[in-house]
């Protein structure tokens, strides 16, 4: 059997844990399997590197403000920040962040050698991981499997640095937060592995984040589509693109604990009887912010101009609500990733639309999005109504709603996010009996 084993940050977070990883990998190889390992940076390392970069920029920003007299927000609340060479910064940030995974790959490989195994670590460019897209949110387009196969044929364990690749210009790129999951599944697809194990700090995929919902239950299996929705709606146990790769290339994925050998959760294609289960899981996303433009002229082209400027900047808009017209004016509310809020307000500031009389911009980062997900919703009515009743019973006000075939999402005030998550989890009978 050919297996890819991916170990996350906590699982390689200390030298003792790295030793444990090496033992597990070697035991697997000695049982007769061929093993490719993918590692994340040691727990906290990626955050530390990002903080270093941001702290450096903050010093420059403070100096800039001191020298130029900080103008502060203008009458509409838009702030003119220090102009930064965004592409240049992102390039260096990727270069910086990719070091975290290089360190853990080398250490895991050394630990395997210390235990008498044959092992080689390889980083993104040595693996031929070619990417497209931005420096810090790149997408894998191809991987060179040849070198890995040659090493495996020689009985060597290959330890790969996750999260990174090289773009067509030869620059180091990274795959977005949690991207080592995607490295692992993409590698598994490229070498046609029999299975990709995601070894982490929980027993598998739960009905909700077990850190937030104590009654959450581990699922034995979950469909690709449900996992895709949960991942994109805030369950960070797997990166979205990892699930997409698994689906597209039919890679069997098994999410399980790195510290013991019990079965975890298998991500599987949907089978007909799965619709019997109404809701598979609920997710909480605190990373979005809400933007409202009031009193926009209700004429063709208003919304188009607004979302065009955001699209041109690569800002991904999630939920959108446009209210019915009153006296030829309308309000538009939408959500964007919280870390794009400043760029969003800057982009809107450049629009002619905002000069129209009465137009005001309101932003709110204190929101939480809670989503319930399940393929059973396709064949059952009344899920949204039940969710609204559960929240009403808890006295939680709903600000926005969006639905798809297999999910219902609501936006609520951030301070009620966890309460709402637990209420919906237990309201749909997902808790441990
Ligand atoms: P790793 O470092 O191994 O990649 P992550 O921190 O990225 O681990 O992902 C594991 C974490 O995901 C868990 O510790 C848990 O808190 C969180 N999580 C969120 N939603 C879920 C869920 N539905 N099931 C399991 N874990 C979840
Ligand atoms: N180290 C990266 C992160 O923290 C990638 C990963 O862990 O998957 O986002
Ligand atoms: Mg992760």
pLDDT of residue 87: 81
> Would you state the pLDDT for residue 9?
98
Nearest ligand to the CA of 237 is 1
Residues of the chain predicted below pLDDT 50: 73-81
Please state the atom number of ligand 1 nearest to the C-alpha of residue 6. Answer: 3
Residue 367 CA, ligand 1 centroid: distance in Å: 21
* Contact predicate 102/110, CB 8 Å: no
N-to-C CA span, the chain? 38
Q: Are 341 and 365 in contact (CB under 8 A)?
A: yes
- The three-class DSSP label of residue 316 is coil
Residue 353's pLDDT is 81
For the full predicted model, state whether its pTM sits above 0.75: yes
pLDDT score at 71: 53
CATH topology of domain 2-46+92-201: Carbamate kinase (3.40.1160)
Ligand that lies nearest to the alpha carbon of residue 163, given by its number in the listed order = 2
Test site for ligand 2: of 162, 165, 196, 201, most ligand atoms within 8 A of the Cβ: 162
Residue 312 pLDDT: 92
| pLDDT tens figures, 113-127 | 999 999 999 999 999
Name the binding residues for substrate: 46, 101
Residue 420 phi/psi, 5° resolution?
Answer: -65, -40
Residue 70: the pLDDT is 56
Which tens digits make up the pLDDT trace of 130-172?
999 999 999 999 999 999 999 999 999 999 999 999 999 999 9
Return the pLDDT at 80: 44
Q: How far is the CA of 40 from the centre of ligand 2 (A)?
A: 6
The CB of 211 under 6 Å from ligand 1? The reply is yes
Q: Which residues line ligand 2 (CB under 6 A)?
A: 8-9, 40-41, 46, 100, 162-163, 177-181
CA of 355 to the centre of ligand 2 (A): 42
Q: Which of 426, 430, 380, 370 shows the shortest CA–CA distance to 405? A: 380
Q: Record the tokens describing residue 160, joined without a space.
A: 């790969």
Query: What is the CA(274)–ligand 2 centre distance, in A?
Result: 32
- Closest atom of ligand 1 to 281 CA is 23
Answer whether 389's CB lies under 8 Å from 181's CB.
no
Cα 3 from Cα 9, distance rounded (Å): 20
The structural domains of the chain, with segments of one domain joined by +, span 2-46+92-201
Annotated binding site for ATP: 6-9, 200-201, 206, 211, 236-237
Ligand 2 atom nearest to CA at 101:
1
Annotated binding site: 6-9, 46, 101, 200-201, 206, 211, 236-237
């Amino acid at each position: 059997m050919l297996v890819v084993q991916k170990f996350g940050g906590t699982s390689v977070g200390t030298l003792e844990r790295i030793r444990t990883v090496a033992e597990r990998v070697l035991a697997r190889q000695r049982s007769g399997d061929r093993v490719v390992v993918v590692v994340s940076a040691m727990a906290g390392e990626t955050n530390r590197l990002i903080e270093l970069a941001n702290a450096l920029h903050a010093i420059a920003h403070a100096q800039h403000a001191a020298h130029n007299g900080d103008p502060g927000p203008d009458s509409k609340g838009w702030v003119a920040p220090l102009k930064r060479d965004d592409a240049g910064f992102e390039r260096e940030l990727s270069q910086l962040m990719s070091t975290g995974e290089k360190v853990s790959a080398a250490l895991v490989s050394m630990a395997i050698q210390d235990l008498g195994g044959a092992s080689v670590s390889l980083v993104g460019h040595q693996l031929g991981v070619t990417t497209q897209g931005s420096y810090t949110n790149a997408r894998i387009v191809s991987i060179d499997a040849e070198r890995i196969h040659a090493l495996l044929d020689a009985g060597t364990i290959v330890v790969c640095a996750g999260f990174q690749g090289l773009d067509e210009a030869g620059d180091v790129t990274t795959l977005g937060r949690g991207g080592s999951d995607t490295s692992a599944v993409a590698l598994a697809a490229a070498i046609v592995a029999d299975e990709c194990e995601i070894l982490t700090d929980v027993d598998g995929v739960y009905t909700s984040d077990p850190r937030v919902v104590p009654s959450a239950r581990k699922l034995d299996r979950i469909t690709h589509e449900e996992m895709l929705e949960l991942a994109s709606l805030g369950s960070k146990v797997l990166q979205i693109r990892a699930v997409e790769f698994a689906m597209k290339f039919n890679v069997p994925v098994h999410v399980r604990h790195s510290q013991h050998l019990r079965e975890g959760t298998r991500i599987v294609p949907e089978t007909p009887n799965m619709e019997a289960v109404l809701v598979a899981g609920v997710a909480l996303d605190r990373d979005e912010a809400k933007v409202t433009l009031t009193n926009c002229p209700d004429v063709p082209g208003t919304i188009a101009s607004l979302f065009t400027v955001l699209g041109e900047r690569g800002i991904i808009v999630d939920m959108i609500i446009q209210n019915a017209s009153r006296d030829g004016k309308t309000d538009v509310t939408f959500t964007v990733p919280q870390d794009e809020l400043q760029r969003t307000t800057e982009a809107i500031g450049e629009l002619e639309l905002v000069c129209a009389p009465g137009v005001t911009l309101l932003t709110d980062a204190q929101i939480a999005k809670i989503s319930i997900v399940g393929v059973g919703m396709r064949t059952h009515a009344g899920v949204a109504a039940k969710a609204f009743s559960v929240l009403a019973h808890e006295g939680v006000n709903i600000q926005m709603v969006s639905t798809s075939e297999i999910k219902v999402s609501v936006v609520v005030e951030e301070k009620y996010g966890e309460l709402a998550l637990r209420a919906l989890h237990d309201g749909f009978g997902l808790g441990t009996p």
